[in-house]
Amino acid sequence: MSSSQSRDRRRGNALLGVAILLLLVALALGGNYVRNYQVDKQEEKNARPYARYGVDDLQVLAEGYRKELATLEARHGGGRVGVRNRHHFSDQVQEFERVQKAARRNRDKAVEIAQIRGDLKEIEEEISRRQSGASGARLHFERMFRI
C-alpha cells in the first residue's frame, strides 16, 4: 500500500467520522426541537385559552370586551347605596332589606366588571405575545437549543 493510498484512507476515515458526528448532532437537535415543540403546544393548550385564535379575531374580541366594559362601568356608577333614616322598626327592616339587595346587585356588577377586565387583559397579553419578536426563526432556534 502506498503512502498516497494510506493518506486517502485516513482522510476518508476522518470525513466519515465528521459525517457521523454531524449526523448525531443533527439527530440530537431534531429530537430536542420535537420535544420542546410538544411542550410548547401543551402549554398553549393549558395556559393560554386564546392561543388558537388568530390575531385579527383577538383584536375584534378585545374591542367587543372594551365596549362591554365601558357600558357596564357607565351603568354601574359609583356603587354606593344611599340609606334613608326611618323611625319605625318595620320601616327600618324594609330599608335594611332594600340596601342589602342593592349592595348585592352592586357586588354582582363589580364581579362581572372584574371578570371582563381579566378576560380583556388575557386577550391583550395574547395579542402582544404574538406581535413580539418571539416568532419566526428565533422561536425555532430557541426550541432547538432549549434544554
Q: Which of 72, 52, 64 is nearest to 119 (CA)?
A: 64
- Please state, in angstroms and rounded to a whole number, the distance separating the CA atoms of residues 103 and 129: 39
pLDDT at 114 over 80: yes
Q: Which of 109, 45, 37 is nearest to 71 (CA)?
A: 109
Q: Does residue 124 lie within any of the structural domains? A: yes
57 and 6 housed in the same domain:
no
Which pLDDT does position 7 carry in this prediction?
80
- Please state, in angstroms and rounded to a whole number, the distance separating the CA atoms of residues 119 and 123: 6
Number of domains in the chain: 2
Q: Does residue 27 lie within any of the structural domains? A: yes
* 137 confidence band (pLDDT: 50, 70, 90): confident
Question: Mean pLDDT over residues 94-113, rounded?
Answer: 87
129 and 60 housed in the same domain:
yes
Q: Which of 97, 95, 99, 93 is nearest to 81 (CA)?
A: 99
Which pLDDT does position 133 carry in this prediction?
55
Question: Mean pLDDT over residues 16-24, rounded?
Answer: 94
Q: Which of 83, 86, 87, 117 is nearest to 103 (CA)?
A: 83
Q: Which residue has the higher pLDDT, 12 or 115?
A: 115
5 and 30 housed in the same domain:
yes
Q: pLDDT digits over 57-86, tens only?
A: 999 999 999 999 899 888 876 666 666 777
Structural domain span for residue 75: 52-133
